[in-house]
Structure 1
């Protein structure tokens, strides 16, 4: 497949033009014109690039790519080494950030809901492009039970901050994968019983305790493995591409 054709396919599926983002979505580093082998992963780290080289990939497709707003512009140091590796080995790099978080079928939020058996009810911000979602469990559970469910689904123990009423049952849940911890206030304002994100901040603890809402920090990487994996599986099924998901361990 032509590398620009792949970008058109991905853009058509993810509609990056519908949301304002912090980095360019699409082809970020151009390599070979012909793509036969794709490696997918969460972040375009050196370890992922090295694995793609080992596997003979023509393209890497990630959730966390390069050229973030506010980062230093010179292509030196770690950034320079990564980009040199891509160019030297003629590998295309595609990155899709918020469009992959919010996609209703393949997105990180949608996939996390499936894993945790949450029935999606809508966007926490009140519109279809909301980065945070909310939904409902089929049966109310305790905070301890829900933490166990998260641990089993994501294969890592979440950090659970209980409200002052620690025995409060959980039926309604808000969530935002990755660094979405500050949406907890919106979840609390909407009377939800619990909120999940990848990362936690110092202030998150006190919002949970004082606003009567369970909070679960389940890991940035752990909550965002599943969207990029699903996107790769979709490319393989619908377009016959050879796609391999590579999970580079990240405890954060």
Structure 2
């Protein structure tokens, strides 16, 4: 009797732990907004997600002192070729402030190469604005790009980092926007992380182009 009770309790605990571990890993991408005081988390197909498409999280509307015309996070990290893309157009209307926009997803599909490429571009709406784009894997900063208006209102940059997948890694694209003036201000950006093909892939591409060149040269020679 005691053995049966112990076994039943152990089985119940195992099921509860398994359920907790499953629920701890969100399904699909999540988009979070943080102004330093308030935090909003938008899950894929959740209550605040304005996109009905799986893998795309979108939000538009007021967020305290900020008005977000559109914030879109696209991710195929949990299906297909791993790719994450964060696009945003954000405004401040009621005062200076800092807004953090973060896209999070878990990579469950094979990465196609030993690293990843980071591409960022955008525009500031006023002098003194700044932006930081931080890419993180499992909470570790692997790439940071910083921009401000000292070099103009438009900005762009690229970076790359080495990445060796472990099977269930958390990838985060974090954009931090700062508007220092208490006036109407607008910033926009486009932020993407994509895999870098393995060297063998480049070799295959090179061999294919070489074969096409040889074939074309032979055809030209035969015509003459």
Q: What's the TM-score once normalised by structure 1's chain length?
A: 0.24
Whose strand proportion is higher, 1 or 2? 2
Whose helix proportion is higher, 1 or 2? 1
Larger radius of gyration: 2
